[in-house]
Amino acid sequence: MDRAGPQNAMKYLLIEDNAALAAALCNRMRLDGHVIDHALTLSEGSDFLLVGDYDLILLDIMLPDGDGRGFLERHRAAANTTPVIVLTARSEVSDRVSMLDLGADDYLTKPFDHSELQARCRAVMRRQSGSAQTVIRRGAAALDPVASVLTIGQVDTTLRNRELRLLELFMNAPGQIFSKSKLVDRLFSYDDTVTDNAIEVYVGRLRKHLEGSGVSISTHRGLGYRLDEE
Partner 1 sequence: MRSEPPRPGSLRRRLTLTLIVGAAVLALLFFLVVRTYAQQVAQQSQDRILEASLTSLLDAAVVRDGQIELDVPYAAFAMLDTGADDRVFYAIHQGGELLTGYDNLTDPPFALTPSAEFSTRPFNGAEVRRATLTHSLPASPRPVLLTVSVAQTRDSLAGTLLAISANAAVFGTAFFLLAAGMALWTSASTLRPLGDLAKAVARRGPSDLRPVNRPVPSELSPLVTSLNSLMTRLSHSLTQSETFIAEAAHRVRTPLATVRSHAEATLLRVDKDENRQALRSMIRAIDESSRAAGQLLDHAMVTFRGDQLVKRDIDLVTICSEIVDRLTPVAEMMDLDLTLSSQGPVRIKGDTILIQNAVRNLVDNALKYSPPEKGVHITVSANPGATIAVTDQGGGFPEAQIGLLSQRFQRGDNVKDTVGSGLGLTIASDVAEAHGGRLELKNLNSGGACAILHL
User: Any contact of residue 223 with partner 1 (CB under 8 A)?
Assistant: no
Range 50-54, long-range pairs (CB < 8 A, 24+ positions): 52/11, 52/13, 53/11, 54/11, 54/12, 54/13, 54/82
- Least distance from partner 1 to the Cβ atom of residue 179, Å: 7
Residue 192 CB coordination number (10 Å): 7
- Per CB under 8 A, 191 contacts partner 1: yes
Q: By 3-state DSSP, what share of the chain in percent is helix, strand and coil, each rounded to 5? A: 40, 25, 35
Work out which of 81, 158, 161, 195 binds partner 1, going by CB under 8 A.
161
Query: Interface with partner 1 by CB under 8 A: which range of 49-57, 74-82, 179-187, 211-219?
Result: 179-187
Please state, as a whole number, how many other Cβ atoms lie within 10 Å of the Cβ of residue 119. 14
| Spatial separation of the C-alpha atoms in residues 229 and 28, rounded to whole Å | 27
Q: Is 192 in the site for partner 1 (CB under 8 A)?
A: yes
Q: Which residues in 31-50 contact partner 1 (CB under 8 A)?
A: 31
Contact track, partner 1, 3-32, x by CB under 8 A: ---------------x-xx--xx-xx--x-
CA 214 to chain centre: 26
Smallest separation (angstroms) from partner 1 to the CB of 145: 13
Cα dihedral across residues 202, 208, 211, 216: positive or negative: positive
Q: Is the peptide bond before 111 cis (omega within 30 degrees of 0)?
A: yes
Residue whose CB is less far from partner 1, 91 or 197: 91
Closer to partner 1 at the Cβ: 74 or 110?
110
For the chain, how long is the longest CA-to-CA vector? 57
Contact status: 220 vs partner 1 (CB under 8 A) = no
Q: Does 180 bind partner 1 (CB under 8 A)?
A: no
How far is it, in rounded angstroms, from Cα 38 to Cα 89? 18
Task: Tell which one of 69, 75, 162, 180 touches partner 1 (CB under 8 A).
Answer: 162
> Binding to partner 1 (CB under 8 A): which residues in 81-120?
89-94, 106, 109-116, 119-120
Q: Which residues bind partner 1 (CB under 8 A)?
A: 18, 20-21, 24-25, 27-28, 31, 62, 89-94, 106, 109-116, 119-120, 122-123, 160-162, 179, 181-182, 185, 189-193
